[in-house]
Structure 1
Amino acid sequence: MFLTIGLFAPQSKAAPAAAPGGASAPTTPAGPAPQPAVGAPERGHTDRQFASADQRAPLPLDTRPAEARPTSKALALGAAAQPCNVGDFTGRTGSDLVQHITAADIQCINGLFQLTGADARGAFREEQMTTVAYALRDAAGAYPGDDSTSVHQLVLYLRAGYFAQWYHKDDVGTYGTALQTAIRSGLDAFFGSAHVRDVTAGNAPILGEAVTLIDSAQENIRYLSVVKQLLNDYSSATWNPAGMAWAVNPVFTVLFRGHQVTGFDAAVEADPSVLDALSGFVTRNNDQLGGNFGVLVYNGAKELTRFLKDTALQPKVRPLAKELVAQSAPNGRTVYQWAAVADGVGYYDAANCAYYGTCNASDQLKAGVLTVNYTCSPSIKLIAQTLDNTQLGTACSSLTGQDAFFHSVVRDNGPVKDDNNTTIEVVVFHSSLDYQVLAAAIYGIDTNNGGMYLEGDPAKAGNQPRFLCYEAEWARPSFEIWNLNHEYTHYLDGRFDMYGDFNAGMTTPTVWWVEGFAEYISYSYRKVTNDGAIAVAAQHTYKLSDLFDTAYGDQDRVYRWGYLAVRYMLEQHRGDMDAILAKYRAGDWNGARTLLKTTIGTSYDADFDSWLTKCASGACATDGGGTPTQPQLPECAGTDIRKLDANCSRSNIAATTGNYAHFYLLVPAGTKQVKVTTSGGTGNGDLYYSPTSWAYTNASTAHSAGPDNSETLTITNPPAGYVYFSLYAQQGFSGVSVTSEL
């Protein structure tokens, strides 16, 4: 997630992102910056303060199935599909280097994006890049429209080099006119080749990477003609089936980034036909809105409206943007287009919003999009796009059940002084794309992240904290709200542990606690093993004393290592943690810092290192209370939460004292055993079974009635057909999981 810009910066905390971040916005006046184009790539990516590599989801704005996506830097963090020797690229030059690049697996080339130090210099210094750029020139002349001549590898290698040099210039060295001349010759040859416009699945990923390379090399001005041609050529009927939609999408990155290149705006002023190409692209493809490729239309509208920042172009852009508003509405299928234009107008031409019809755009979008209002409890209100009653109940049970768990961990004595954040708004968008597009337009935040908590000033009367999140569309048909419990922890932690607002808590380094604790509670409460944290524990990258200095930036350090540091301190040095929390609650940031860096200092470093070894060996495959976690079964399919199935779970079950949560299960003939288990949550639920009808305390043939929610019933040789289980609330319970195994 990303630190918000301008108005929201002091009040925001965010959650682990679902996917790699995009690019930074151009330098602009203060205020919430309009979002970059979908898939805005690596060059110019600032060190985001809330980004995370805790990635368990597809790219939020790339709706293709994984097998349809061209390779990109996003894949570089994974292992190569085939053995890949970095020395093949760092220790060779000239034709020998080119030969090894063209013979390499694409995933191997992808892995080179992460090179640093001497390896980065060996692979990507200017002489190497110049050699590869001329090799691209030579190969592009006979480009057949697919990767049979390894053009893909050459383009991707060049992208990796520019990426490494952008982030690690001291390692790689400077790039000058020699490389510029070479890369222009390579791109000229590629875009001038006979098959570059082939509408085929073989050409699509290579063309997309080459367009992205335009931006990587900062040749945005020189290849504006390529941008226009792709915008004008695109036809959804023929391009989408061939995967070519994702070859045109990078043109929006070239435009977005172009504003950071000296002379770009002047070039568009001299030949503004690219604006007509953008307008025509959006208008022709308006019917794609509401489908998988509607994001292209959003990007087109976004990039057209961005040119409003150039006062010389405003007479040209204004009527085009106004027409796009007229084609759309702040609700329904065309809402992305409307939001894109409204966002740009609000940022660059707000004084003339009446001309476009986008004044009070935030209110218009809220009324049109966030139509579900539901009260979970006196302190929690849910606002959503599309949640049904069952989903609302599930989400509310998860939230309300977390309170008791949170308080049992932090052992607080109530809200910190001067905290008036007695209620929380939970705003749930229907998908990651809805969040990225609509939350940005409604709340003026940077949304290339996994969700965000906006705390505000808790001492101010009438302040309304809220957090923004979204449904995990990749988990469907199961229902999941991404980072729901992480974000809710930020609210509880801010209210009961951290005095003052977000800025106050950042007076000294507290990121290790703020984000690490949100991860710890989220995983522990849900009884889910943090596999990512366990994996990095084996690497022994950081000392505990160093983690106390964590700042927003490195994603693994903030979230996975933050989780490990918090878990270690809570489980191994609870007394120290209680003393630190006492300081946090009083706003004594310097006092807490002294405890961490002087009183504790390095004294626990050796023990922490030993603990990491145990953690990586299995000791951390437990919940936060030390209870071994069971293998996670998938959520049962279907919207009827009473329906169980073979080897699945129903999560976040709740019932008030004296009432029941009922379940039914269809048993296939010949089944030898049915096992139903309940676990987690708060309160006390007893499990009952009936083979013939709904199970009750006075109408059952078996039951399990322990002192908490840990109940198990094993039925041998059950009858074929429907059987019934019920969880009776001996004491009101919530957040319970019910699993069925056949």
Structure 2
Amino acid sequence: MSPARLLRLPQLARLLTLLLSLFLAVGLFAPQSQAAPAAAPGGAPSPAPAGPAPQPATGSPERGDGERQFASADQRAPLSLDTRPAEVKATTAPTTTSLRLGAAAQQACNTGDFTGRTGGDLVQHIKAADIQCINSLFPLTGADARGAFREEQMTTVAYALRDAAGGYPGDNSTSVEQLVLYLRAGYFAQWYHKDDVGPYGTALQTAIRAGLDAFFGSAHSRDVAAGNAPILGESVTLIDSAQENVRYLPVVKRLLTDYTSATWNPAGLAWSVNPVFTVLFRGHQVAGFDAAVEADPSVLDTLSSFASRNNDLLGGDYGVLVYNATKELGRFLKDPALQAKVRPLVKALAAQAAPNGRTVFQWAAAAEAVGFYDAANCSYYGTCNAADQLKAGVLKVNDTCSPSIKLIAQALDATQLGTACTSLTGQDAYVHSVVKDNGPVKDDGNTTIEVVVFHSSLDYQVLAAAIYGIDTNNGGMYLEGDPAKAGNQPRFLCYEAEWVRPAFQIWNLNHEYTHYLDGRFDMYGDFNAGMTTPTVWWVEGFAEYVSYSYRKVADDAAIAAAARHAYKLSDLFDTVYGDQDRVYRWGYLAVRYMLEQHRPDVDALLAKYRVGDWAGARTLLKTTIGTRYDAGFDSWLTACANGACATNPTVPQLPECAAADPRALDANCARSNVAATTGNYAHFYLLVPAGTKQVKITTSGGTGNGDLYYNPAGWAYTGSYATRSAGPDNSETLTVTNPPAGYVYFSLYAQQGFGGVTVTSEI
């Protein structure tokens, strides 16, 4: 939709919503420049606390598009070892938490059991609870949050950790993990709801240090064994939650030094060492951290050694560890007092790697750090023009799907390119049939789109960040730029879903492409203009609607949401970026309901969106419609949950062209059952009225392979045409902007004999 079509959130919503439900990973609108502060429902800036935010629950669902936007691209957090979307993780493999629990351990979980207990009674109940129950406490607010996590409660639990850790046996038989996770939940709740929980002071600080000292001082905390892995990982994360990043720098160094891939990875301890990079990352936001490293810079040597000696992990499942180590080492370039120490270490890691091949992640991490903190000296590191070097090194596949779509990829083969192009080009006609537009909105020059496809979720997170300078903790991004600026090139970034291989799927391909089409044909101006009033319900709901209905896939998550009746339709018109379930699932439901039940209102709304009448559109939604459809929406939700939404909506088809000549097309009609033998043509002509802004010709269906040609001056042939659409099958689209008045000509050339093809013309 614009230079900054971005999902931007307050920190509160950004992390809290990770705990609430499993959502489909969808893509983002994003700026090509630094993001502005997130906007709250009333349009006022949303406050966010300073310093590092505690991390959400272990095993909590993290959307593939997490929506975790940092102030600038250099503040991206370390990557997880599993970069797949959260709902994929949840459905394809059990978490380490669920593996430890087993079905028999699933107990009833009552918040009151934690808020109504104190002292030893509270401690015993925590230790007896299962992990999933403790996980469920992270989102507590209000009186519940205070009852569970006020300082007296947390201090009691921290000392209980001290006592339990003294005899820690190297597994969870003494419930150390429950105590650690409870403390993490408390810090999380207090960070985001300080007024609810109350302040934390020196009493808790003394207690948490005693607990962490006892754990990391216990001999079995160093066990290289599967039983120790989850507790160790939780405890490292607790360092950051408690903002004790300075005190436990020796633990960070110890873990990085002790790590040996041959023994740690099989025991699951790679997952335990990875949180140390978050301790380092967020440490820069803790008072005294930089000074501590300046006083004892040995952690820099430890990071360098870790990355260097584990170079063989690059290109494999644990290469993220090397990437994170290189990234966190390079981040210290921001400290002038440390640059003399850090520069040669970063240079050495860059020299061990290359902007392509197995070591590209290490090179990208070094190059990013240099770009952010030492760009004037890039020649010293060999990383000048890093984005161009990486593009040349990894994005080697270029394919023109159609005159308006260029596909750039890391590793797609010819068959995969054909599949992707067919899906994209076929979507044009579908979207136009839904929104019934009259061509691009005024001042929109985004006539072409670049579709950039990375080879996996990890490739996207590392390489798209380094090349395009964006936060990639998401399921993809649409970078629109300024549609009114000459030479602007919109693009969207996405990736192959590696978890479905050997099947082929590009994650969010159709959702992101809908953003491009919607921005070009429905939403005037740029993203910031469109967000002067709440339009998120349409922007994201429509992208979800098209992605599912065009692909003929049921949106099971939205259907499940419908059964909960959580929102009124009039409330959904106020949706802003934040609650992911509301943005995507409920956006889908609101858009589908309006299209199916109140089509004239959608047409009136889009007429205002297309000219930038945001205030008029807002009046239509909140005053003209207001609450009048709330009851109908509620009834529709019941039907949707009971099966009405299990099938996809049918988009009205264009009528057959009425002219007797089978070659004659007309405005908004179709010719069915078109056929031609190999090497021959099916010719068509169309009389264009003066002042026509756009003509769109689309072919679809049938067998064989026909390529579409256009000629404004006479019959169109392969040797006489102005433009063409030549895909691998019969899904072709040509859009002619400002065509000449009078007769224009199209033809479908049979690369392979075709039959049963439908040709549609839209004016």
TMscore range, shorter length:
0.7 to 0.9
- The answer as to whether partners of 2:97 and 2:131 remain within 8 angstroms in 1 is no
Aligned residue number for residue 76 of structure 2: 35
Q: Deviations over 1:374-409 (max 9, x none)?
A: 111111111000011111111111101111110110
Tell me whether 1:306 sits opposite 2:306 in the alignment. Answer: no
Aligned residue number for residue 685 of structure 1: 702
Tell me whether 1:545 sits opposite 2:570 in the alignment. Answer: yes
- The answer as to whether partners of 1:500 and 1:587 remain within 8 angstroms in 2 is yes
**Letter of the 2:87 counterpart:** R
- The answer as to whether partners of 1:472 and 1:481 remain within 8 angstroms in 2 is yes
Residue 499 of structure 1 and its aligned partner are, at CA, apart by 0.9
- The answer as to whether partners of 1:121 and 1:173 remain within 8 angstroms in 2 is yes
Q: Deviations over 1:247-305 (max 9, x none)?
A: 11000000001011011101111111100100000001011000000000000000000
2:89 aligned residue (58, 68, 76): 58
- The answer as to whether partners of 1:583 and 1:589 remain within 8 angstroms in 2 is yes
Residue 9 of structure 1 and its aligned partner are, at CA, apart by 4.0
Aligned residue number for residue 417 of structure 2: 392
**Letter of the 2:383 counterpart:** T
**Letter of the 1:305 counterpart:** G
Aligned residue number for residue 712 of structure 2: none
Aligned residue number for residue 634 of structure 1: none
Q: Percent identity?
A: 76
Tell me whether 1:136 sits opposite 2:148 in the alignment. Answer: no
Instruction: Within 5 Å, give how 1:513-528 maps onto structure 2.
Output: 513-528=538-553
Q: Distance in 1 between matches of 2:422 and 2:552?
A: 15
Q: Distance in 1 between matches of 2:614 and 2:138?
A: 39
Q: Distance in 1 between matches of 2:589 and 2:253?
A: 50
Tell me whether 1:158 sits opposite 2:203 in the alignment. Answer: no
- Distance change in 2, residues 1:571/1:144 (3 Å): same
Aligned residue number for residue 583 of structure 1: 608
**Letter of the 1:596 counterpart:** L
Q: Distance in 2 between matches of 1:379 and 1:656?
A: 25
Tell me whether 1:499 sits opposite 2:521 in the alignment. Answer: no
Aligned residue number for residue 594 of structure 2: 569
- The answer as to whether partners of 1:406 and 1:521 remain within 8 angstroms in 2 is yes
- Distance change in 2, residues 1:686/1:427 (3 Å): closer
Q: Distance in 2 between matches of 1:157 and 1:97?
A: 11
Aligned residue number for residue 145 of structure 1: 170
**Letter of the 1:21 counterpart:** G
Residue 618 of structure 1 and its aligned partner are, at CA, apart by 1.6
Aligned residue number for residue 103 of structure 1: 128
Residue 170 of structure 1 and its aligned partner are, at CA, apart by 2.1
- The answer as to whether partners of 2:32 and 2:479 remain within 8 angstroms in 1 is no
- Distance change in 2, residues 1:656/1:111 (3 Å): farther
**Letter of the 1:107 counterpart:** Q
For structure 1, the 5+ residue unaligned runs are 42-52, 628-654, 661-680, 688-707, 710-725, 735-742
Residue 126 of structure 1 and its aligned partner are, at CA, apart by 1.3
Residue 150 of structure 1 and its aligned partner are, at CA, apart by 0.8
Residue 20 of structure 1 and its aligned partner are, at CA, apart by 6.8
**Letter of the 1:507 counterpart:** T
Aligned residue number for residue 482 of structure 1: 507
Q: Distance in 2 between matches of 1:400 and 1:80?
A: 51
Residue 81 of structure 1 and its aligned partner are, at CA, apart by 4.0
- Distance change in 2, residues 1:360/1:132 (3 Å): same
Q: Distance in 1 between matches of 2:303 and 2:615?
A: 53
Q: Distance in 1 between matches of 2:176 and 2:629?
A: 52
Which shows bigger deviation, 324-333 or 469-478?
469-478
2:244 aligned residue (219, 223, 235): 219
Aligned residue number for residue 478 of structure 2: 453
The alignment yields a C-alpha RMSD, in angstroms, of 3.0
Instruction: Within 5 Å, give how 1:257-268 maps onto structure 2.
Output: 257-268=282-293
Q: Distance in 2 between matches of 1:307 and 1:733?
A: 60
Which shows bigger deviation, 509-518 or 530-539?
530-539
Residue 352 of structure 1 and its aligned partner are, at CA, apart by 1.1
Instruction: Within 5 Å, give how 1:162-311 maps onto structure 2.
Output: 162-311=187-336
| Helix, strand or coil at the partner of 1:196 | helix
Q: Distance in 2 between matches of 1:625 and 1:434?
A: 37
- Distance change in 2, residues 1:483/1:126 (3 Å): same
Q: Deviations over 1:280-338 (max 9, x none)?
A: 00001011000000000000000000111111111111111000100000000000000
| Helix, strand or coil at the partner of 1:375 | strand
- Distance change in 2, residues 1:149/1:161 (3 Å): same
- The answer as to whether partners of 1:23 and 1:40 remain within 8 angstroms in 2 is no
| Helix, strand or coil at the partner of 1:114 | coil
Q: Distance in 1 between matches of 2:98 and 2:379?
A: 43
- Distance change in 2, residues 1:475/1:518 (3 Å): same
| Helix, strand or coil at the partner of 1:313 | helix
- The answer as to whether partners of 2:65 and 2:476 remain within 8 angstroms in 1 is no
Q: Deviations over 1:641-675 (max 9, x none)?
A: xxxxxxxxxxxxxx996589xxxxxxxxxxxxxxx
Aligned residue number for residue 411 of structure 1: 436
Residue 686 of structure 1 and its aligned partner are, at CA, apart by 6.9
Q: Distance in 2 between matches of 1:381 and 1:550?
A: 33
Residue 33 of structure 1 and its aligned partner are, at CA, apart by 2.7
Aligned residue number for residue 704 of structure 1: none
- Distance change in 2, residues 1:727/1:523 (3 Å): farther
Tell me whether 1:730 sits opposite 2:761 in the alignment. Answer: no
Residue 413 of structure 1 and its aligned partner are, at CA, apart by 0.7
**Letter of the 2:264 counterpart:** W
Residue 575 of structure 1 and its aligned partner are, at CA, apart by 0.4
Aligned residue number for residue 33 of structure 2: 7
Q: Distance in 2 between matches of 1:231 and 1:378?
A: 51
Which shows bigger deviation, 166-175 or 153-162?
166-175
Give the TM-score of the pair, scaled to structure 2.
0.78
- Distance change in 2, residues 1:172/1:255 (3 Å): same
- Distance change in 2, residues 1:658/1:115 (3 Å): farther
Residue 67 of structure 1 and its aligned partner are, at CA, apart by 4.3
Aligned residue number for residue 639 of structure 2: 614
- The answer as to whether partners of 2:237 and 2:275 remain within 8 angstroms in 1 is yes
Q: Distance in 1 between matches of 2:570 and 2:359?
A: 51
- The answer as to whether partners of 1:212 and 1:251 remain within 8 angstroms in 2 is yes
| Helix, strand or coil at the partner of 2:702 | strand
- Distance change in 2, residues 1:34/1:524 (3 Å): same
For structure 2, the 5+ residue unaligned runs are 1-5, 9-29, 39-60, 653-672, 679-697, 705-729, 732-751
Q: Distance in 1 between matches of 2:528 and 2:463?
A: 26
**Letter of the 2:510 counterpart:** N
Aligned residue number for residue 667 of structure 1: none
- Distance change in 2, residues 1:386/1:297 (3 Å): same
- Distance change in 2, residues 1:17/1:626 (3 Å): farther
Tell me whether 1:556 sits opposite 2:594 in the alignment. Answer: no
Residue 6 of structure 1 and its aligned partner are, at CA, apart by 7.0
| Helix, strand or coil at the partner of 1:219 | coil
Aligned residue number for residue 628 of structure 2: 603
Residue 603 of structure 1 and its aligned partner are, at CA, apart by 1.4
**Letter of the 2:205 counterpart:** Q
Give the TM-score of the pair, scaled to structure 1.
0.80
